[in-house]
Amino acid sequence: MSFARESTKLFSGPSRGAGTFQPAEGLTGTEASLRLHEDGPNVLDPPPKDSIFVIFIRQTQNMFFLLTLVAALVSWDLGSHGKAVMLVCLVAFMSVANTIGEYSSQDAGTALSDMTAQQTTCLRDGQAVPINPAGLVVGDVVMLKTGDVVPADMLVLEANDLRVNEALLTGEPREVSKSTHSTDPTVSILSNMVYSATSVVSGHGKAEVVATGMRTQVGLIAKRLGNQKGLTEKNPLAVSVDALGKLLTRVLLVVVIATASVAYKVGYQDPSLICRADDKRCLFKSALLRAVVMTIALIPHGIPVVCAIMLRVGSIQIQRRNGIPTKVSAVDYLSATSVICTDKTGTLTEGKMTASVLFGLCHDDAASAAGPSTTESNLTFYPLRGLSPNGGLFETSQLTSERKQRIEQSFDANALRQSFSEPGLHDHAAAPQKTTGLHKQFAEAHLACAFLNCHATHLSLNKSGAWKTQGNMTEAALKVAAAKAGYWEGEGKGQSLQKTHTLISDLEVPFSSSRKMMATIHSLPENRRLESLQFDQDSTHYAIIKGAPEILLDRVGAVPKLAAGVLVVPGSVMTPSDKALIQQRNTDLANTGLRSLLLAVRPLRARDVEAMVGATSAEDRLAIILENPRAACVFSLWGIFDPPRASVPPSIKSCHEAGIRVVMITGDQSATAMSIAKQIKILGDGAKDSARCSLECSKLHEPPVARTNNRRLSQQASTILDEIDSAVPRAEPEEWLQERRGSRKLSVHDVRGPEDCHEPEFLSEEELMRITSRVTCYSRAQPSDKVAIVASLRAGGHVVAMTGDGVNDAPALKAADVGVSMGLSGTAVARNASDLILMDDNFSTIVAAIEQGRRAFGNTQKYVLVNLSMKFGQLITLLAGILMGVMPPISPILQILNLSVTHVCCTAFVAFEQPEDHIMKVPPRRDTQQLLTRTQVLYRLVPFLLYYPPVVMASLMIGTFGAVGFVSNNALIGSSRVNDLNDGLVACERAGWEDHGQYVQDTRPFHCRCKLSDNGLPWLQSKVVDQWGTSTKKNSLGILFSPLDYPEFFSLENADWKGKTTGVVKRCEHDGGLWCWDTTVKRVNRPVLPEGLSCAEHGAKVGQTMALVTIMVGELLTVMSSRMEGFFLCHLFSNRSFFIGFVFQPTVMYLLIYTPESARILDLIPISSHLFAIAAGMGFCLLVFNEGAKTLYRWQAAHDRDRLWKEVAAQEDYSGFRAEKQIEDA
């Protein structure tokens, strides 16, 4: 037993005042003041909040954040100030946005405090006085009435039809009757206790305070809401990204060292940055700078930003599916969710009591020559849609699963009432109805009596088009059932029935918790008929009695008699077999989790009505109605329950197909919980499966510990609590402590103090994990039980989503990886504690949110895969260039531009890709796995790295060779040896001078000889062009882009050479094999080819321009191919937003190449259409190769999915999970 009570003793002595401790008088003011000073006010402590700084730190804890800062610093140092500022601003913006969103969603504790009472009436010094509930203390006696919010946990001393809504604690919206005696002292929520923040819905009473503030049951909820996530706790995507960042950090260090070492060792020279052969310092600096720039370009510093974009896009997609993520991290947790723990009421079910089955019996005189026999009528309502009147009433035997499926397919949610009749299936509630017979007679009687009896409950449509009721929840079920037969208040046959069967409201017997029944009195028309019920001619009125079957059945003694097509009442005397049959049907309803309700009819004569008018109380009127049991006729047994939502079973099937366990946790009784669980396929149909996979939450607790009686209550209250304590087996503290085994590291294993000593102690972590690994249906759950289940599942390595709508669910919502609350029926406390709000309160929305979460993660994988593929492809291409001694296919500045345009802008549109067809057919990923799978690396990344460098290098060499006739750096840079150019070894000649016997080579060539091809095509070489240096500066853009079109500027006949080389260059004195400048030529007048105007440099720019086209076109097509795993043409228009990038990137490329100023700055050449087509065609080859690699990848990925399912089936922690996924052969 776990009720809340104080632990501070009442000390005796004159200074304490004379507390009377009599419930009739309450405490004295002096005693109350002393207790208030000792115990503190009756308020809830505000839960702690994470500071905005802590949340910001949590948002930035990944390696890519650090790498991005390093990349920004290096970019700034290299002069790329714009890029550096952009990187820092983007990461800072996303981090701040996520921080603000998470910080603003911590108001659950405030909302909980707002639900407590604002005013109450208690006895002080024998007088009833209004006080602030914060001033209540243990021992105070409080007066309760309809509409009050209970101010503290209190023991009921007096109860007059006292009914309380305890949904705040149990999650079940039913009204609970309270009395002075506990019906079951072993349960957590006692029937003779009222609890803080619950509400009184009817009656009045008196109760004594036994716990205040944080010592109350709602105080436990406030305590659990205070559990905050740690500073270093990361979501699964952050873990995977961080792991990738650490791996890439090691790779980058290796790349820097290896690239710098190789470039320095081979003396690699870039034609655009030439060092003297003997300048080791320049060579080392050039090699190191090249390695650093390559590494910076390799860093996928856009990953944190793009991941944030992916999650934001996923958040938007979830909003379109009626879910609102309050934290962007919820999208990621949803993608990795492996267990969904869900409340029953309002989430899996409609949250509205609904009539499901009807049972009736009568005696049929014509059934047998031997005498009357008992005939049954079993009817079923279908489909069930909460308060919607669109549904039929059928014979149970006719309503097969195939017919149910056809009804579901034809159901129109917007229709008021459809007729679902078909050959062999009669809708007995449809109008007009041509069917006749016993079932039709009973249907009319059932529904007409229910309509008249439930006159105080009303059904209507609200402004938003949703059905709502006013009045009792149980009566609402009957009123909706009557509406299905066309009984509406104020219109149609409902209005006609109310006029001809007038309600005598003064004679009504209202419901009370003691009598458990109620009755309404109605007049009879002249024909003495109520639809199919025929009364005798002496009757002027009749009573419709509704009540609990176990009570009402003993007070009635007749059943209807079927004669001449009508049901005659009171009919025949009820036989023992009739009573046994009704009792059996009532037991069957209870075993299937249905609540039962019995209706009876009692004909009344004029003298009976006169006697009732003269009666002084409802009890007297009821006694008159039931004084002759043989006159009261029972005919209608209703089965009522909160039906599962129609979308839930297929959604749970989808979860099972996706490898996600669904666990139901409810405060309802075990039979009801198992019945719903079986209907929605959380549990199997077998008894063995039900026994193994269902559990009452009391089994999660350690034995309660015997406690010393230190209460400060009245003698009456103490005696009652002692009786309750004695009914619950308890262990001695020493014995219990010695028997505890296993670790106790979960949040529910915290040390208990005086304020929370009434909270149950839980089993060890290992024992809880053994239970939670197999159980999928929990009943009789307290708020702390839900926290324990969630914590145990998380400790077992699961990513847990918890759904709920009530205050009792808030601690578990906070403890789960993803807290999911209801937007329509959910409390503010639950919404503020959650990470995702369902705006339609529908479980299927959770499944849709998980699908969108997986879609976001899948698109993130695609982005990372294609991004790393392109970056590592460029890296290997540059390394290949160094090893081959050819020029780099792309310069650092172009590499950065391509990174921004292609690697970030175009790949970012992958966030809008549609999910793969198999996305909900695979088990959830592990939260610690690498971002990319082994199959993605081996079958997508590695093949790309094999064919990307050859394609790009081929384009580079075609362009360079077609414009120069050479491709190696040494040939393009040229030589100072006299015969190298004539021997065809180099494209250019350089001169130098001798300085104290040391030869110093000039940085610019004086003569270049290039082999040109028609249209730049290397296989169509047609002429050789010689260029000679000049001392005159040439600044024309035309000369820069096409220096070969101006041969007169670079002719041997120009003013510097005058047709001969003598007098300008000569063989060196000390080494006759080298060219030296003639000593007569001044240094400033040396005729060299201006920078960028030699045919070799021009050819190198042509090659780099073609390589840029191949890279940009190829990478754009690679992104397009990588968007989906299937053939790209089948998904060409699945993501229309991608075409923004598809147009943007080529436009930028065209402007970079064919805008003169940008081409000059970037050292590009506006190449001819022939060369552009060749370069773009080489890029198209990447698309072809990608599609071939994807074919192998799809084959291997299918095998991987089958292997994962086999692993899931073999795992012990899935022993309670019976997946519906069938593993197919590859």
User: How does pLDDT run across 208-266, given as a tens digit for each residue?
Assistant: 998 888 888 887 777 767 655 544 467 788 778 778 877 887 887 888 788 778 777 77
Position 693 confidence tier, pLDDT thresholds 50, 70, 90:
confident
Share of the chain above pLDDT 90, in %: 24
Beta-carbon neighbour count of residue 466 at 10 Å?
11
Per-residue pLDDT band at 736 (split at 50, 70, 90) = very low
pTM of the model: 0.77
CA–CA–CA angle 874, 876, 881 (5° rounding): 95
Which residue reads 């793969």 in tokens?
Answer: 916
CA dist 845 → 226, 311, 344, 651 (Å): 28, 17, 15, 9
Residue 944: the pLDDT is: 95
Residues 6+ positions from 1120 with CB-CB distance below 8 Å = 1128, 1138, 1142, 1183
Give the model's pLDDT for residue 1006: 92
Alpha carbon of residue 556 to chain centroid: 53
* Average pLDDT of the residues in 263-288: 69
| Average pLDDT over every residue of 947-964 | 92
Give CA torsion, residues 69, 75, 81, 86, to 10 deg: -40
Angle at 1216 between CA 1212 and CA 1218, to 5 degrees: 105
Residue 13 has pLDDT above 60, yes or no: no
Lowest average pLDDT, out of 123-132, 286-295, 633-642, 853-862, goes to 286-295
**pLDDT of amino acid 1131:** 82
- Which of the given ranges, 878-892, 1107-1121, 1122-1136, has the highest pLDDT on average? 1107-1121
For residue 346, is pLDDT > 70? Answer: yes
- Is the pLDDT at 1039 greater than 80? The verdict is no
Decide the pairing of beta strands 777-779 and 373-382: unpaired
Confidence of residue 1216 (pLDDT cuts 50, 70, 90): very low
Query: Which residue type occupies 193?
Result: M
956/1107 Cα distance (integer angstroms): 5
Using pLDDT thresholds of 50, 70 and 90, give the confidence band for residue 1015: low
* Identity of the amino acid at 150: V
User: How confident is the model over 351-406, as pLDDT tens digits?
Assistant: 788 999 999 999 887 655 555 688 899 999 999 888 889 999 999 999 998 999 89
Question: Tens digit of pLDDT for each residue in 483-526?
Answer: 999 999 888 889 999 999 999 989 999 887 777 889 999 999 99
Question: Which stretches within 713-842 are classed as H helix?
Answer: 715-726, 733-739, 765-772, 783-795, 810-815, 828-833
Average pLDDT over residues 812-823: 87
Tokens 């994470």 found at: 50
How many helices (H) and strands (E) would you count in the chain?
39, 35
Sign of CA dihedral 213, 218, 220, 224: negative
| pLDDT above 50 (res 6) | no
Mean pLDDT for 1215-1220 is 38
d(CA 611, CA 602): 15
pLDDT of residue 9: 36
Q: What share of the chain is helix, strand, coil (3-state, %, to 5)?
A: 45, 20, 35
CA distance linking residue 1217 with residue 515, whole number of Å: 45
The per-residue pLDDT for range 977-1005, each reduced to its tens digit, is 999 999 989 999 999 988 877 888 888 89
Question: Where in 263-416 does DSSP place strands (E)?
Answer: 323-325, 339-342, 354-364, 373-382, 392-395
- For the stretch 577-636, pLDDT in tens is 999 999 999 988 888 878 899 999 999 999 999 999 998 888 899 999 999 888 999 989
pLDDT band at 950 (very low <50, low <70, confident <90, very high): very high
Q: What mean pLDDT, rounded, does the chain reach? A: 82
The amino acid that residue 1 corresponds to is: M
Nearest alpha carbon to residue 1007 among 1081, 1102, 1077 = 1077
